[in-house]
């Protein structure tokens, strides 16, 4: 009997080394016992695998390697031996991984699916609470993943919350991000995590505002948001009440326009609820818009974006800036104009004497459209149907903020704001009357200023940009 002691529950490298060595030495699956260091004393005195003989090398299908990366994160004690059995069999059955009816392959695939689902749930259900420490504000979350997916999901969280100091504590392992470095420490206890703060209210408002009674399918909802996660979800407390009220709210929605034939209304409600996860009513507050863009499915751009980026600024702003769409950094940070284009905008605003904090800054399109090239995400201009789909949100912001002046930054924003192509060279420095209310101004997009190759032309375009900002601010006074 050969006993293998792995360094941790997710020690894939250790498993790989030991498995290669066992297979090269001809140790059959039934003669290998797999343990993790902590419980190795159970097998004290048993022999470990000898190092793999020199020159003993073999290749395995890529499919197996990818499956093993997932399967090893499953909580089943059987996972190490299952993988070794597959590895062993691959020698005489090279096409084994393609035989989906094989019980070992089937089980491994089931394990992998469960792991992938657990990772997905972790990404969706981690809820941070804010804490103060010596370095200022930080965020802590407690989470109990169904499988050991904490390390595997870490890159998602560090990318998504790049500028936030946070820790995610789990019973298996804890991860810590200080905005630059990722570190792991041993598992923790729920008591180590704070239990409530103001963010709870945010999550509850968010959930209540995206909750659409007409879409309610209790079974489907519980499948998506299994009860085991509710304990740590601030919004879960709302669920029973929202379910109880759902029927009444749905009939109220249907009753709201009594002059329409009932069947048409019912169809309209159903269509709205199928097409978009809100009830088809225009958003009534900026909070609703901020929540709504996160779940928007009006076009496909949500698929590749990290998150929706709503507009920001005071509700009574006199001046609104509309850009094209969030860029790479805005997509990660969740705020508009915080990347390189935002820096140009900030500099020009300061030179024009316009306080950004008194303006409302948003975009024509709320999700980052891009193409992945290797590690880089290359900006792509949204097309007219994406701009049209997203006007739902921009119009909501315009209706709520009611700015005196809207500045369209670049051609895409101009198309959205004015509803038709508005050439910048021809229309800049003009107040254009908007049909709903207020006036519009068009100017260059800050990214364009970054791209002008000639130094002199760049300086000239930048000076015109500053002039346009000043013009808009004076117009809004």
- Considering the rule CB under 6 A, would residue 359 count as an interface residue with ligand URA? no
- Considering the rule CB under 6 A, would residue 336 count as an interface residue with ligand URA? yes
How does strand 32-36 pair with strand 2-6?
parallel
| Residue bearing tokens 């049909």 | 435
- Residue 110 backbone dihedrals phi, psi, to 5 degrees: -60, -45
- Considering the rule CB under 6 A, would residue 325 count as an interface residue with ligand URA? yes
The token duo for 82 is 């299952």
Q: Smallest distance from the beta carbon of 331 to ligand URA, in angstroms?
A: 9
Cα dist from 14 to 43, 171, 217, 326, whole Å: 18, 22, 45, 42
Q: Smallest distance from the beta carbon of 310 to ligand URA, in angstroms?
A: 11
| Residue bearing tokens 């029973």 | 240
H or E element at residue 210: helix 199-210
**Pair 24, 56: CB distance under 8 Å:** yes
In this chain, which stretch among 191-199, 242-250, 337-345, 426-434 interacts with ligand URA, using CB under 6 A?
337-345
Q: Smallest distance from the beta carbon of 180 to ligand URA, in angstroms?
A: 23
- Residue 371, exposed/middle/buried by CB under 10 A (0-12, 13-18, 19+)? exposed
24, 60, 341, 387: which one binds ligand URA (CB under 6 A): 341
- Considering the rule CB under 6 A, would residue 161 count as an interface residue with ligand URA? no
First CA to last CA across the chain, in angstroms? 84
Residue whose CB is less far from ligand URA, 194 or 340 = 340
Dist CA 316 CA 58 (whole Å):
68
Residue whose CB is less far from ligand URA, 234 or 311 = 311
- Considering the rule CB under 6 A, would residue 327 count as an interface residue with ligand URA? yes
213, 311, 326, 403: which one binds ligand URA (CB under 6 A): 326
- Considering the rule CB under 6 A, would residue 414 count as an interface residue with ligand URA? no
Binding mask 419-448 for ligand URA (x = CB under 6 A): ----------------------------x-
Q: Smallest distance from the beta carbon of 365 to ligand URA, in angstroms?
A: 8
Q: Residue 84: name the closest of 22, 138, 35, 126 by CA.
A: 22
Q: What totals of helices (H) and strands (E) does the chain contain, helices first?
A: 17, 14
Dist CA 145 CA 118 (whole Å):
6
Dist CA 340 CA 317 (whole Å):
24
- Considering the rule CB under 6 A, would residue 313 count as an interface residue with ligand URA? no
**Pair 277, 215: CB distance under 8 Å:** yes
Residue whose CB is less far from ligand URA, 283 or 327 = 327
- Considering the rule CB under 6 A, would residue 330 count as an interface residue with ligand URA? yes
- Considering the rule CB under 6 A, would residue 382 count as an interface residue with ligand URA? no
Question: Can you name the residues that pair with 138 across neighbouring β-strands?
Answer: 131
Q: Smallest distance from the beta carbon of 380 to ligand URA, in angstroms?
A: 12
In this chain, which stretch among 14-22, 121-129, 329-337, 432-440 interacts with ligand URA, using CB under 6 A?
329-337
- Considering the rule CB under 6 A, would residue 29 count as an interface residue with ligand URA? no
| Residue bearing tokens 């950004």 | 356
- For binding to ligand URA (CB under 6 A), which residues are involved? 323-327, 330, 336-337, 339, 341-342, 363, 447
């Amino acid at each position: 009997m050969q006993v293998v002691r792995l360094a941790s529950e997710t020690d894939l490298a250790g498993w790989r080394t030991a498995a290669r060595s066992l297979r090269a030495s001809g140790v059959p699956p039934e003669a290998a016992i797999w343990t993790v260091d902590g419980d190795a004393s159970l097998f004290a005195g048993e022999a470990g695998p000898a190092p793999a003989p020199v020159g003993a090398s073999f290749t395995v299908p890529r499919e197996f390697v990818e499956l093993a990366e997932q399967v090893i994160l499953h909580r089943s004690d059987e996972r190490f031996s299952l993988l070794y059995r597959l590895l062993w069999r691959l020698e005489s059955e090279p096409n084994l991984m393609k035989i989906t009816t094989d019980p070992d392959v089937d089980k491994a695939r089931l394990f992998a699916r469960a792991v992938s689902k657990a990772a997905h749930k972790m990404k969706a259900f981690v809820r941070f609470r804010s804490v103060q420490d010596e370095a200022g504000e930080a965020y802590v979350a407690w989470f109990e993943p169904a499988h050991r997916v904490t390390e595997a999901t870490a890159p998602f969280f560090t990318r998504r919350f790049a500028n936030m100091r946070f820790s995610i504590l789990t019973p298996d392992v804890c991860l810590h991000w200080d905005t630059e470095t990722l570190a792991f420490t041993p598992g923790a206890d729920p008591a180590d995590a704070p239990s409530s703060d103001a963010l709870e209210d945010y999550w509850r408002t968010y959930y209540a505002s995206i909750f659409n009674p007409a879409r309610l399918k209790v079974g489907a909802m519980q499948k998506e948001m299994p009860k085991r996660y509710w304990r740590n979800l601030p919004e879960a407390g709302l669920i029973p009440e929202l379910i109880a009220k759902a029927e009444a709210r749905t009939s109220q929605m249907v009753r709201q326009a009594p002059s329409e034939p009932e069947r048409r209304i019912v169809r309209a409600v159903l269509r709205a609820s199928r097409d978009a996860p809100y009830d088809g009513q225009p958003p009534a507050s900026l909070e609703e818009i901020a929540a709504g863009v996160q779940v928007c499915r009006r076009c496909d751009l949500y698929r590749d974006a990290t998150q929706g980026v709503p507009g920001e600024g005071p509700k009574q702003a006199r001046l609104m800036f509309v850009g094209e769409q969030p860029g790479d950094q805005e997509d990660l940070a969740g705020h508009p104009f915080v990347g390189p284009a935002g820096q140009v905008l900030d500099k020009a605003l300061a030179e024009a004497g316009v306080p950004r904090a008194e303006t409302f800054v948003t975009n024509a399109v709320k999700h980052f459209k891009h193409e992945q090239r290797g590690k880089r995400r290359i900006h792509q201009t949204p097309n007219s149907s994406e701009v049209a789909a997203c006007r739902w949100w921009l119009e909501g912001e315009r209706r709520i903020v009611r700015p005196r002046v809207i500045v369209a930054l670049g051609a895409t924003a101009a198309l959205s704001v004015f509803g038709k192509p508005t050439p910048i060279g021809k229309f800049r420095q003009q107040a254009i009357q908007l049909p709903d209310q207020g006036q519009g101004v068009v100017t260059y997009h800050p990214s364009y200023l970054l791209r002008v190759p000639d130094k002199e032309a760049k300086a000239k375009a930048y000076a015109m940009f500053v002039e346009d900002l000043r013009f808009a601010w004076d117009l809004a006074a």
